[in-house]
Structure 1
């Protein structure tokens, strides 16, 4: 994934530097920015679609928050897979971000593996919208598909229920139906099918 570019927007210098180093070590091309405004002014000149891109952003930042950045990207028609990193108290904000199309959110502190997995899943989700779409997924209802996307994003049933505005019982029912339709019995099997390896 050497050409996969990850834009990293965070006002914490230490976090930004260490995360950029981690991404580079993992084979990504990191592009760090200290603020949402710095990212937006740099991104305007990009040629969209020339390589795989993903955005990792903090939710709480001065001047322009991560949610305001997300709103601006939507307004400009820029469809970047977006992974938010949040402090514990920001989970309701992160749920709102997922409702508006963010690929995932991670609560700090998180492991390096959790971040890399979230980024890889965001890229996989973007690729799946293209020609490599798995035909087995066509058997799912729109709601089951939403539940699947959130399961792949490693969200527990309670968070999935909050994001979709349904009960935990209903989430469990959708998960059971989804696994039955896809012919899988375990979460790892489900992940393989969802990410196009099954």
Structure 2
């Protein structure tokens, strides 16, 4: 059973970018205590008593983290961590346990957990761990969105412009590109200018960096064209 349903009725319309903390623990008193703690500093909170309820819940497109108990009723939090990784659900995890040991902590951290807190823990330690996790996820989301915007810019290029970009990343001059593409140098300059504009590149170095992020390589014909004298 998932708690906090009244809050979910309102967050869809406002505060979509507000960080959210998902709490998964089969101990109701702990869930409620953590919910109150996180809400006291303005965080959005969703509470769950089973992994099934958590997986079925639609996730917000906002920085988030999962506060997860190591020992759930009938299942292992560590095994659930592995399941999330296999399903491609990227979310920083803060583990908590009343039965932790060194081996368990090492396994969780190697699998990507942000922190591992033994119960009882200080409220400030939990807040610090969650703050770190949310900051990390915020950076990941920003990087993902930046890459998506860059990919959209690349998709807006015409086939000719993409070919020019491919030659530019090899360091070829306009006259070399013109020869390789059987175009006039002025036409290549126009294509190159359009590529710079659409890719929002401040310089050739910036354009090359963006092409590397997108794994854009040189056209097949550049092998021959690149052998020409400069």
TM-score normalised to structure 1 length = 0.59
**Secondary structure of 2:71's partner?**
coil
What pairs with 1:41-56 in structure 2 (closer than 5 Å)? 41-42=56-57, 45-46=58-59, 50-56=61-67
What residue in structure 2 maps to residue 106 of structure 1? 117
Question: How much has 1:9 moved relative to structure 2?
Answer: 0.2
Residues 10-64 of structure 1: CA deviation (Å, up to 9, x unaligned): 011111111101111111111000112211122xx335xx211110000011222
Equivalent-residue separation in structure 1 for 2:100 and 2:92 (angstroms): 23
Superposed CA RMSD: 1.9
Task: Give aligned pairs, total.
Answer: 127
Q: Hey, what does 2:82 align to over in structure 1? A: 71
CA distance in 2, matches of 1:46, 1:127: 15
Could you tell me which residue of structure 2 aligns to residue 29 of structure 1?
44
Deviation at 1:123, TM superposition (A): 1.6
Q: Which runs of 5+ in 1 are unaligned?
A: 132-198
- Between structure 1 and structure 2, the one with the greater Rg is 2
- Three-state SS of the structure 2 residue aligned to 1:84 is strand
| SS class of match (1:78) | coil
Partner of 1:15: 30
User: Equivalent of 2:93, from 82, 85, 89?
Assistant: 82
> Secondary structure in 2 aligned to 1:97?
helix
The two structures have a TM-score, normalised by structure 2, of 0.51
The answer to whether structure 1 residue 93 and structure 2 residue 104 are counterparts is yes
- Structure 2: distance between partners of 1:13 and 1:79: 26
Q: Where in structure 2 are there 5+ consecutive unaligned residues?
A: 1-14, 144-230
Q: Distance in 2 between matches of 1:81 and 1:94?
A: 15
